[in-house]
Each structure stands twice: as structure tokens, then as C-alpha cells.
């Protein structure tokens, strides 16, 4: 069983949920949803369990066979144990092309005994630079935890400020695939690249199970944008029953009071980097960072 915990990362104004909760490791078969995206010989699939391996030859990754416009994707992940400095395990959603949208989780490997950091980022029309880093207060290498990305027309945004509406497009018009990978990032991942990968500890193996996708499949949206009918259908408009999807219900459009308190706890106790507070990098605060 996974350990019971709930926590939320807020990438202003984009909102990510990462939820760790107790439930059986069940869901959909990996090969029904995903396929290897590169270095298939470094991806091991045995029933319900998938392993991605990084060695001094290559890393590997997988991606969903379909793309989606709104919904939720989760996977139970156990990160590579021990001294994993310089490695990155990424779990993310992304559309295609240079003007893509993307929601990132990047788990940054570290030396043995040091906290694992998770970095979030958001790309809108190909522009990112919205990193936040949080130190995890549990050991993500010792057990499986369930990580989920929830995306709808409201919930990915905690608050839609006037500056956001004026300066930035809202990422609701490009279907995204679901991806994960492990790779060598020792030029930046651990202490700004000062700590390199110790290949004597290879292979570095990240393990997955319990894949679950509950999202609006968007088969026509394989390019830069979704078709008009897909946009309406995935927004809960004009579908055959005229029904709303669960992620469009009013209760899903904002955090509950309890979730808001959890978010504040994480930010107050475990946030180690916030691009909104980096005046050296951004002398003028990005518009979405304004209160």
C-alpha cells in the first residue's frame, strides 16, 4: 500500500496536484495506454510493473498513445534509490511543436541521505521559466506514491488575474500526451550541476505501477491545436448526453479549504525555490506573479 499523504504544488498561476493516497495498485494496463518513446531496451514491463533504467549509455521514456484535453492522469512511482545525484525522473503532460503547452514534474536525484527535490514548471505556447522546487518530506525511493496531474478549464489556475489574462494565453487549446522518462541531467539537476552522476551506482531504476487515466481523449488533436468539435466535447459542451465531465463540476473548479491549508503548509515548510521570488533572474516580476 502507498503511504497516506496529500500535498499540492501551486505554480502560480498554474496549479498542479500531486496526491499520495492509500489504494490498491490497480488501474489500466500500461500497454493499453502507453508505448516506449525511446530506448525501448531500457524499459522493462512485467505485468503491472514498469521499470525505466538509466545507465551510462542512455536513459529511456514512454508516452501515451493518445492525447487528451482535460482530465486527470496518475501513476504510482518509486524513484531510484541511493545516490542518484545528476539524474532526473520526469512525469509530465505536453502537446507537440515549438509553441507547445506543458505541465512538468521533475524529480531531481540527489546524494544519499539528502532530500529529493521535485521541480515543477509550466510552458505556455513554448515559453517556460516558471520553475518551483519543493523538498519532499518523505522518502519517494522507499515506497510507491501516487502522483497525479489534474487539468480542466479552471482547476489548473488557482486564480486568473487580470495580468494573466492580458499577458499570457491560457493553456486550454492543445491536447496533451502523458509522458515519463529518466535521463542524465548532471549539468544542472543536483546543486546546480556541481554534483555529477556516479556511474558506479548505475543502473538507476525508477519503477511504476497503478496507471490511471480519466481524461477526454482528443484523437483529432494530434497537431498544434484541437478541432472545434473536440474542444466543445472535452469542455462538456455539445456531447451526446449534454453531460458535464466530473472535472468540470463546480466543486472541481477551486481548492477546498482543507486543500488550501495543505498547499500553504507545503509552501511555508518545504518550498526551496520560487521563480516569482527570484529578483536576480527576473528584475521585473513576471505578470502572473503579481498579487
Output the domain CATH number for residue 102: 2.60.120.200
Q: What is the pTM of this model?
A: 0.85
Q: What is the pLDDT of residue 126?
A: 92
Q: What is the pLDDT of residue 34?
A: 95
Least confident span in 162-176, 205-219, 257-271: 162-176
Question: Does the structure show a pLDDT above 80 at 1?
Answer: no
Question: Does the structure show a pLDDT above 60 at 253?
Answer: yes
Q: What is the pLDDT of residue 224?
A: 53
Confidence of residue 206 (pLDDT cuts 50, 70, 90): very high
Least confident span in 77-81, 101-105, 183-187, 221-225: 221-225
Q: What values do phi and psi take at 173, rounded to 5?
A: -120, 5
Q: Is residue 115 part of a domain?
A: yes
Q: Is residue 131 part of a domain?
A: yes
Question: Does the structure show a pLDDT above 70 at 16?
Answer: no
Question: Does the structure show a pLDDT above 70 at 13?
Answer: no
Confidence of residue 172 (pLDDT cuts 50, 70, 90): confident
Q: Is residue 39 part of a domain?
A: yes
Q: Is residue 170 part of a domain?
A: yes
* Number of domains making up the chain: 1
Least confident span in 9-18, 42-51, 83-92, 263-272: 9-18
Question: Does the structure show a pLDDT above 80 at 23?
Answer: no
Confidence of residue 249 (pLDDT cuts 50, 70, 90): confident
Mark 40-66 as b/e (b = at least 16 C-beta within 10 Å): eebbebeeebbbbbbeeeebbbbbbeb
Confidence of residue 30 (pLDDT cuts 50, 70, 90): very high
Of residues 78 and 254, more confidently modeled: 78
Confidence of residue 237 (pLDDT cuts 50, 70, 90): low
Question: Does the structure show a pLDDT above 90 at 209?
Answer: yes
Q: Mean per-residue pLDDT for 100-116?
A: 90
Question: Does the structure show a pLDDT above 50 at 160?
Answer: no
Q: Is residue 211 part of a domain?
A: yes
Confidence of residue 291 (pLDDT cuts 50, 70, 90): low
- Average pLDDT value over all residues in the chain: 80
Q: Is residue 287 part of a domain?
A: no
Q: Mean per-residue pLDDT for 59-66?
A: 96
Give the domain extent around 178.
Answer: 30-277
Q: Which residues are catalytic?
A: 102, 106
Q: Is residue 290 part of a domain?
A: no
Q: What is the pLDDT of residue 2?
A: 32
Q: Mean per-residue pLDDT for 181-210?
A: 96
Q: DSSP string of the chain?
A: -PPPEEEEEEETTEEEEEEE----S----HHHHEEEEE-GGGEEEETTEEEEEE-SS--EEEEESS-EEEEEEEEEEEPPPS--TTEEEEEEEE-SSTT--EEEEEEEP--TTSPPEEEEEEEBTTB----EEEE-SS-TTTS-EEEEEEE-TTTTBS---HHHHHHS--S-SS-BEEEEEEEE-TTTTTGGGTS---GGGPPEEEEEEEEEEEEEE-TT--SSS--HHHHHHHTTSS-TT-PPPGGGSGGGSS--HHHHHHHHHHHHHHEEEEGGG-TTT-SS--GGG--
Q: Is residue 23 part of a domain?
A: no
Task: Find out whether 189 and 109 touch, Cβ atoms under 8 Å.
Answer: yes
Amino acid at each position: 500500500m502507498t503511504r497516506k499523504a496529500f500535498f499540492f504544488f501551486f505554480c502560480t498561476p498554474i496549479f498542479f496536484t500531486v496526491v499520495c493516497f492509500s489504494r490498491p495498485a490497480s488501474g489500466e494496463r500500461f500497454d493499453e495506454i502507453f508505448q516506449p518513446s525511446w530506448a525501448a531496451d531500457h524499459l522493462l514491463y512485467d505485468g503491472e510493473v514498469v521499470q525505466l533504467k538509466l545507465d551510462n549509455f542512455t536513459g529511456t521514456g514512454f508516452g501515451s498513445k493518445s492525447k487528451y484535453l482535460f482530465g486527470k492522469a496518475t501513476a504510482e512511482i518509486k524513484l531510484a534509490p541511493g545516490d542518484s545525484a545528476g539524474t532526473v525522473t520526469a512525469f509530465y503532460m505536453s502537446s507537440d511543436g515549438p509553441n507547445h503547452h506543458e505541465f512538468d514534474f521533475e524529480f531531481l536525484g540527489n546524494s544519499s541521505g539528502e532530500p529529493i527535490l521535485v521541480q515543477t514548471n509550466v510552458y505556455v505556447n513554448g515559453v517556460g521559466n516558471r520553475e518551483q522546487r519543493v523538498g519532499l518530506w518523505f522518502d519517494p525511493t522507499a515506497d510507491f506514491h501516487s502522483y497525479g496531474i489534474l487539468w480542466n478549464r479552471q482547476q489548473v489556475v488557482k486564480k486568473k488575474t487580470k495580468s494573466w489574462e492580458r499577458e499570457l494565453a491560457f493553456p486550454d487549446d492543445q491536447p496533451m500526451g502523458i509522458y515519463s522518462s529518466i535521463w542524465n541531467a548532471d549539468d544542472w539537476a543536483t546543486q546546480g550541476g556541481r554534483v555529477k552522476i556516479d556511474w558506479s551506482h548505475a543502473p538507476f531504476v525508477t519503477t511504476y505501477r497503478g496507471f490511471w487515466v480519466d481524461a477526454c481523449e482528443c484523437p483529432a488533436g494530434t497537431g498544434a491545436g484541437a478541432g472545434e468539435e473536440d474542444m466543445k466535447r472535452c469542455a462538456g459542451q455539445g456531447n451526446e448526453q449534454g453531460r458535464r465531465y466530473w472535472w468540470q463540476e463546480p466543486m472541481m473548479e477551486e481548492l477546498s479549504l482543507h486543500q488550501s491549508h495543505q498547499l500553504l503548509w507545503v509552501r511555508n515548510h518545504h518550498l526551496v525555490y520560487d521563480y516569482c521570488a527570484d529578483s536576480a533572474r527576473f528584475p521585473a516580476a513576471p505578470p502572473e506573479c503579481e498579487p
